Chain A
């Protein structure tokens, strides 16, 4: 099974700060990569995904992620966070038709 590592368990930052969340996965050939977000009390929803092509992908709400194949990484970034970005973020990697998820990173943005 794929192994997905998210480097930070909890990140606390102030509004307007930049955010970068790390994600690494175990080698498995061709991969499809996802970042999901869960806002307090809401469903898990897709932020962005990478299947092929440009390794820099843009998602909703100003998020982007960069796929670096040589490093088996898919890090999530946002240049300037808002209080509303407070949520839990999950990196996921496909394996056949299944997704393997990382442990999640809780992001708290202070106003």
Chain B
């Protein structure tokens, strides 16, 4: 059974803090994605990675960075958290190395920045 896990389900941080969101997949997939989900806006792609140490900006990368040192782990970093980054963050990974395919999603991390 495929699995994408995220380090926290709920997180509360203060404005200006550096925040790390961790995602791990046990499927040996090359591609991993970070989205944020907001009511009325659906899911928006922040960053994705197609290999270790490789990353690409998505549609809304501002205020975020990522790290992929190992194939199974993809971290999203908020360098200086702001209240407008309060959101649900979803990690996902598709099974295939080539071409588009369905994405397997983690349970999400609900981040609140106060």
Are A97 and B99 touching (Cβ within 8 A)?
A: yes
Q: How large is the interface on B (under 10, 10 to 19, 20 to 34, 35 or more residues)?
A: 20 to 34
Q: How large is the interface on A (under 10, 10 to 19, 20 to 34, 35 or more residues)?
A: 20 to 34
Are B105 and A43 touching (Cβ within 8 A)?
A: yes
Q: Does B62 contact A (CB under 8 A)?
A: no
- CB contacts (< 8 Å) of B59 on chain A: these are 1
Q: Closest residue of chain B to A99, judged by CB?
A: B103
Are A90 and B48 touching (Cβ within 8 A)?
A: no
Binds B, one of A13-21, A60-68, A77-85, A101-109: A101-109
Are B58 and A98 touching (Cβ within 8 A)?
A: yes
Are A97 and B50 touching (Cβ within 8 A)?
A: yes
- CA A63 – CA B42 in complex, angstroms? 21
- CA A2 – CA B44 in complex, angstroms? 12
Interface residues in chain A, defined as those with a beta carbon under 8 Å from any beta carbon in chain B: 1, 4, 6, 9, 32, 34, 43-46, 49, 90, 92, 94, 96-104
Please name 5 pairs of A and B residues whose Cβ atoms are closer than 8 Å in the assembled complex, sorted by A: A97-B50, A97-B94, A97-B99, A98-B100, A102-B42
